[in-house]
Each structure stands twice: as C-alpha cells, then as structure tokens.
C-alpha cells in the first residue's frame, strides 16, 4: 500500500517547507517537490499543514483508581486520541504493591492488546521496590519499558517513601532509564485534607484549596535533589504552577538533568472552574488541581524558553454522573482525573500558535518531537523524515470548531462531559495516518481495534 500526500506545508520541530511525501507500507520513503511516483492513493494537502502525529506521553486508559476505573479503555481512548491528531500514547502500567512489576506489565499488555487503535508504549508505576526486586527494572527496560513513574502523592495508594524513591532512582540511573515524578507532598496534603473535612468543607473546590502550590514545589525540589544524588534524569509530570516551575528552572540552571511537562488543563483552565455551588466542580478534580489563572503565563514562558519540554494530557477521564459522584459528600473521594486526549493538539495550536505564543515548529516539538526523544521513540516517531514511521496528520490551520460534548468533531472520548466545553479553537486535525494507514478522515474512524502496536522504547538518549 502506498500513499502520496501532495502539496502540503511540511512542518516538523525544525523544518517548514512545501513538499510531497511518499509513504510505502508503514514508513516515509521519499520527500520532495512534485514527486513523480505512482501511489495507490493520493491525498491533496494543499492549504494544510502536514505534521508528525502527536505523541502524548501521559495517559491513563482503563486505569483502576479512586474506587473505579478510568472511563476510556485502550480502544475508545486511542480512537479518540487519533481523532484529535495523536498517533502515539505512552500509558502507565501499574505494579500492585507487593507484586512483581513484570506482572503489572503483563496485565497492561492484556488491557491494550487487540484494542489500541494507534501505537502505544508503557511507563511502569512503581509502588514498592525492595532490594530483591531491583533486577526487574533491567528486565522492564529490556522489554521496552524504559521509564518509571513514582508518586509522592496519594499516601496509602500509589505513594512511595523517599527510600523507595532513591533505591528505584539509583537503579534506573544505572540502567540508563528515566524516572517520571508525580511531585507533591502527599503526606502534608493529607493532613490539610483531614483538617478541611473536620471543618465540614466537603465541596469539590476544597480539593484545590487543600493542595497548595508550595507542596507541589516542595515535591519537585525534593524529587530533583534525590534524583541528582541517585544519578538519574528526572521528568516532572503534570507541572501545574509557577512555584513548581521555579524549582525546575533553578535545577536546570545548575545543570541538573531535569525535564518537565505541563498539560492543557493548566494552560487553559483555572481555579475559577471550581466556583460552583453544586457539584459541577468535580469535573475538574484532578491532581495537581487547577491553579490561579496568573500561573498560566508562567507556564507559557516555561514552554517558550525550554524549561518545560512537552505538553501531555494526563488523560484520566471519569464520568460525571456515575463516577465523580462517588465524592458527592466528600471531595477526597472524587476520582482524580479529567479527559483531554482528543483536544490537546487543537488547544495547543490555538492557544500557542494562533495566540502568538509559540512558533509552529515549537508546537510540533511540544506535542510530538520532544516526547519522542525523551521516551526513546525518536526518530521512528516525532518527525517526518525518510525512514520514519508514517504517523502523519493533515492539519487544517484555519478551520474552527467549538469544543463540546455535543460537537461530533471534537468529542469521541467515552466520558459524559468535556473539560473544555464551549472553547472555540482554530486548527483541526483532518486526516490522521498511523503507520501508513489512514485511520481518521472526514471525521470517520477507518482504523481498527488492535491496529496499534506496542512500542518497545529505547533507553534515555541523554540531554538534547
């Protein structure tokens, strides 16, 4: 099967030119002006950007959490991702406390195999790591799971203490892998939560008010310090505020191997979303919580200046009616997480490029290339080049859509609300190609459950 994508404006993290792209089977085989080739199918990309498929390095499909399971599984979640222009996700497998991480990996393979419609990799969430289990980490890396996530939050659930953190970090550093950190002081936060509940403060907004930015900044500072001593690069996930960003910037300035992502919810939504008398605010109960609006300009600056390398979604949807309601009388029981995997590319293009904050190259870097590099997928993913996987999006930079659960062009996620309801965006993924196959066109799904492959990722590639 061959495909000719004709006359588009090809944009990667570093290139911007008009050319044709010839795809044979799963890879890009030729790029040039007015290519004289015979293809099984020609796509007219005139007036469109032709960009690498999005890489979302932080999703939680089919994740047991907060007494329930995230609403998108690997079939519905990856399909929705594809509609939004994302062709690769890196999701999180979980080690059950006291059990082997390899069992956790096996369980996540079972969840994804035969379901994922786009390519996917796994990080491993480490929940305990005694000395006699450290050997498993090398095995995970051999299996293509070359990054771990550890939590300083959620005591009694996913939390690990600093000793565990250090042990796992040291081994991860020896193995040439990367550690992702959920950086928040969960122990102190749980105390603040207890006080709030004792005072009868049970509404969703108290989720945000009991998680001060200083406690995120402290977690960022501490995890970086431990990582420096352990000798491992660290990637701070879902960084939400200026306080935490300052810690990343300070560490990078002294030469520490620190990387960080933020997410659309922290760039486009804010604390005021909790200002509801009813339970509506539960839609935005995620961790870290939404912050005061002024933080957003700091995050944009971090993205523009390179202290934040990537924009992921932390897609972890829970239905408002059936799942968020678990915390109707107690905000601490609301399942933490929100939807977004489908809307990331349009939101970032609109807020970044149309909003004058990012170049179009930087848009590609933040939504695709940097994550590919950090997580051992480049140059197979994250760029358009001869030999790369043909994960390509034909992106209309002028088309506008209003994001809504009722707009069939913007909501395919299996969740009963959209966190960005009513947001008008300019810039829409129109044709989405995954390893040479058109999986989305004219808002119709042409992919198939099981069409996505598991990606064995490479080791951490060093600073870039």
Residues that bind Zn ion (CB under 5 A): 182, 314
Binder of residue 111, out of ligand URP, Zn ion, none (CB less than 5 to 8 A by kind): none
C-beta of 260 vs 428, nearer to ligand URP: 260
Selected from 101, 287, 296, 343, the binder of ligand URP by CB under 6 A is 287
Partner in contact with 337, chosen from ligand URP, Zn ion, none, beta carbon below 5 to 8 Å by kind: ligand URP
Gap between the Cα atoms of 230 and 174, Å rounded? 9
Name the residue among 124, 128, 174 with its Cα closest to residue 149.
Answer: 124
Of the two residues 289 and 376, which places its CB atom closer to ligand URP in the complex? 289
- Cβ at position 65, least distance to Zn ion in Å: 9
φ/ψ region of 239 (left if φ > 0, alpha if ψ in -120 to 50, else beta) reads: beta
- Do the beta carbons of residue 11 and residue 393 sit within 8 Å? no
Nearer to ligand URP, 261 or 401 (CB): 261
Q: Which does 286 bind (CB under 5 to 8 A by kind): Zn ion, ligand URP, none?
A: ligand URP
Total site size for ligand URP, rule CB under 6 A: 9
Counting contacts by CB under 6 A, is residue 91 touching ligand URP? no
Residue 126 sits in the site that holds ligand URP (CB under 6 A): no
DSSP assignment, residue 159? Answer: B
The 8-class DSSP code of residue 150 comes to E
Question: Would you say 24 and 2 are in contact if contact means Cβ atoms under 8 Å apart?
Answer: yes
220 burial via Cβ count (<10 Å: 0-12, 13-18, 19+) = buried
Q: Would you say 12 or 310 has its CB closer to ligand URP?
A: 310
The option from ligand URP, Zn ion, none interacting with 336 (CB < 5 to 8 A, set by class) reads: ligand URP
- Tell me which residues in 291-320 interact with ligand URP (CB under 6 A): 314, 316
Give min distance, CB of 266 to ligand URP, in A.
11
Q: Kind of pairing, strands 27-32 and 178-182? A: unpaired
Minimum distance from residue 316 beta carbon to Zn ion (Å): 6
From candidates 60, 133, 291, 381, binder to ligand URP by CB under 6 A: 60
Residue with the CB atom nearest Zn ion in the bound state: 182
H-run or E-run covering 400: strand 392-402
Q: Which does 146 bind (CB under 5 to 8 A by kind): ligand URP, Zn ion, none?
A: none
How far is the C-alpha of 447 from the C-alpha of 432, rounded, in Å? 10
Question: Does 147 sit near ligand URP (CB under 6 A)?
Answer: no
Task: Find the binding residues for ligand URP in span 378-437 (CB under 6 A).
Answer: none
- Give the residue with the Cβ less far from ligand URP, 336 or 423: 336
CB 75 to ligand URP: min, Å: 20
Question: Taking the C-alpha atoms of 405, 408, 410 and 413 in order, what is their torsion angle to the nearest 10 degrees?
Answer: 60
> Facing residues of 454 across strands?
120
Q: Which of 119, 144, 168, 90 is nearest to 459 (CA)?
A: 144
Closest of 88, 101, 140, 102 to residue 453, by C-alpha: 88
Cβ at position 263, least distance to Zn ion in Å? 9
Fill in the DSSP letter of residue 368.
I
Q: Which does 411 bind (CB under 5 to 8 A by kind): Zn ion, ligand URP, none?
A: none
DSSP readout, 258-304? Answer: EEEEE-HHHHH--GGGG--SSGGGGGG--SSPP--TTHHHHHHHHHH
Q: Between 170 and 189, how does the x/- string for binding to ligand URP read (CB under 6 A)?
A: ------------x-------
Query: Is position 286 an interface residue for ligand URP (rule: CB under 6 A)?
Result: yes
Binding-site ranges for ligand URP (CB under 6 A):
60, 182, 238, 286-287, 314, 316, 336-337
């Amino acid at each position: 099967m061959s495909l000719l994508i004709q006359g588009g404006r090809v944009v990667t993290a570093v290139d911007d030119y008009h050319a044709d792209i010839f795809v044979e089977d799963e890879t890009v085989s030729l790029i040039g002006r007015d290519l004289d080739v015979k293809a099984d199918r020609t796509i007219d990309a005139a007036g469109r950007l032709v960009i690498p498929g999005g890489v979302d390095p932080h999703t939680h499909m089919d994740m047991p959490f907060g007494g329930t399971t995230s609403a998108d599984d690997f079939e519905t979640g990856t399909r929705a991702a594809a509609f939004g222009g994302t062709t690769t996700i890196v999701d999180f497998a979980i080690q059950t406390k006291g059990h082997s991480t390899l069992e956790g990996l096996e369980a996540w393979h079972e969840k994804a195999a035969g379901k994922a419609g786009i390519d996917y990799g796994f990080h491993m969430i480490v929940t305990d790591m005694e000395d006699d289990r450290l050997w498993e980490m090398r095995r995970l890396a051999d299996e293509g799971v070359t990054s771990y996530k550890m939590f300083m939050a959620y005591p009694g659930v996913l939390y690990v203490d600093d000793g565990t953190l250090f042990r796992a970090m040291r081994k991860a550093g020896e193995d040439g892998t990367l550690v992702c950190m959920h950086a928040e002081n969960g122990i102190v936060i749980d105390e603040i939560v207890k006080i709030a509940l004792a005072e009868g403060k049970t509404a969703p907004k108290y989720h945000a008010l009991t998680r001060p930015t200083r406690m995120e900044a402290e977690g960022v500072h501490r995890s970086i310090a431990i990582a420096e001593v352990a000798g491992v690069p660290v990637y701070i996930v879902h960084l939400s505020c200026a306080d935490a960003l300052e810690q990343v910037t300070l560490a990078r300035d002294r030469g520490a191997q620190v990387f960080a992502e933020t997410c659309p919810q922290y760039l486009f939504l804010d604390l005021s979303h909790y200002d509801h008398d009813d339970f509506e605010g539960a839609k935005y109960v995620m961790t870290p919580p939404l912050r005061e609006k002024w933080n957003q300009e700091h995050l944009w600056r971090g993205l523009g200046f390179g202290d934040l390398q990537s924009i992921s979604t932390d897609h972890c949807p829970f239905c408002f009616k059936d799942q968020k309601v678990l915390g109707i009388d107690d905000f601490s029981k609301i399942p933490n997480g929100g939807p977004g995997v489908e809307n990331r590319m349009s939101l970032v293009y609109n807020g970044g490029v149309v909003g004058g904050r990012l170049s179009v190259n930087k848009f590609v870097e933040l939504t695709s290339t940097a994550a590919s590099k950090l997580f051992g997928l480049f140059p197979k993913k994250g760029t358009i080049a001869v030999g790369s996987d043909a994960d390509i999006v034909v992106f209309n930079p002028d088309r506008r859509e209003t994001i809504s659960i009722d707009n069939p062009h913007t909501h395919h996620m299996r969740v009963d609300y959209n966190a960005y309801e009513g947001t008008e965006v300019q810039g829409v993924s129109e044709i989405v190609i995954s390893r040479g196959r058109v999986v989305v066109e004219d808002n119709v799904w042409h992919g198939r459950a099981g069409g996505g492959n598991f990606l064995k990722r490479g080791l951490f590639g060093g600073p870039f």
